[in-house]
A and B are shown apart, each in its own frame.
Chain A
Amino acid sequence: MPPRMLPEPTPETRHFWDGCKAGELRLQRCTDCDGGSYFPPRPFCPRCGSRKVEDYAASGKGVLWSYVINMRPRPDMGTEPYAIAVVKLEEGPQMMTNIVGCPQTPEALQLDMPLKVTFAAQNDDISLPFFEPAGA
């Protein structure tokens, strides 16, 4: 199996990936407007354009917003079907992820089910943020 496709952080996203490595899901928010949290990372507020933004550790809680189950696995993802999901975080933003600790079936994957983040180290630098059922 080829190695899993992994992100290469840039200066603007480094804090997010460092957060994953440290076991924190780091979002950003603006301190100039009340536009709330945003994702993916960038060093300014996408709502008002202010550069006065801060990183913070989010709750890691969310709900299953939508997904597909890929029946033809990408070569680096193994041989079994897997869900490619979007989670809606408690703080507002949406992010793509995989759902772990749960069968990859329509029956087990119900929209709006509560989820919580869990981090899986891929190498010394990168840990990927996955989500698992909140009751698990």
Chain B
Amino acid sequence: MSWVSKFLGSSIGQKVIMSLTGLFLMLFLVVHLLGNLQLLKDDNGEAFNAYAFLMTHNPLIKTVSYSLYAFILWHAFQGLRLWRNNKAARGSNRYGVQHTRSTETAARNMAWFGIVILVFIILHMYQFWWKMKMGVLPPVEVAGYDHPVQNLYLPVKEAFSNLLYVLFYVISMVVIGFHLWHGFWSSLQTLGANHPRYNGLLKTVGYLYAVGIPAGFAIIPLWMFFTK
């Protein structure tokens, strides 16, 4: 067995996969949020549509986005594998009394949060990404392009005018927040980043990130639902 497969198959190697793919997804969330915030502009989606065209046609961005899909799948697959391994290691004999600290809630439920997030991503991709890929969206003229681009703003507006979808979206963001609450610190701990000099800083940044990013995403449907 080569050292690479030995490493990736080991308990720590599998965690490193979770950590690195997770960190990449966290970086992606920042970029995704910055793009989405253009929906808050009062320009009937022009900036957002121009941005959506750029994201689906720039070869560099396209390469990164295909790696992103692969990383999402890898993260999910690896996560489920860890979950299964850990359940097997714990065994079928459960404790009669289970003592759990409230601080461990997020960490203990990472798999459940992850499954909800996976369902959210599948629906999310179908709703927006799939329509864009299939080219079923009506064309619209935007400034800066001499040809019409697909109007992605249309399905977004439609989805965010549906109360049930807005609720689903906001609840999913809360779940993502919990996932990140543990995930940010945990991914760094797995890579060995733990030092009294910067532990406090990393924890604070992690908590701000875990609250800030999902809140930023959740504001958009709420804003569009109540103002458009």
Q: Do A and B come from one complex?
A: no
Question: Hey, which bits of chain A sit against chain B, CB under 8 A?
Answer: none
Question: Hey, which bits of chain B sit against chain A, CB under 8 A?
Answer: none
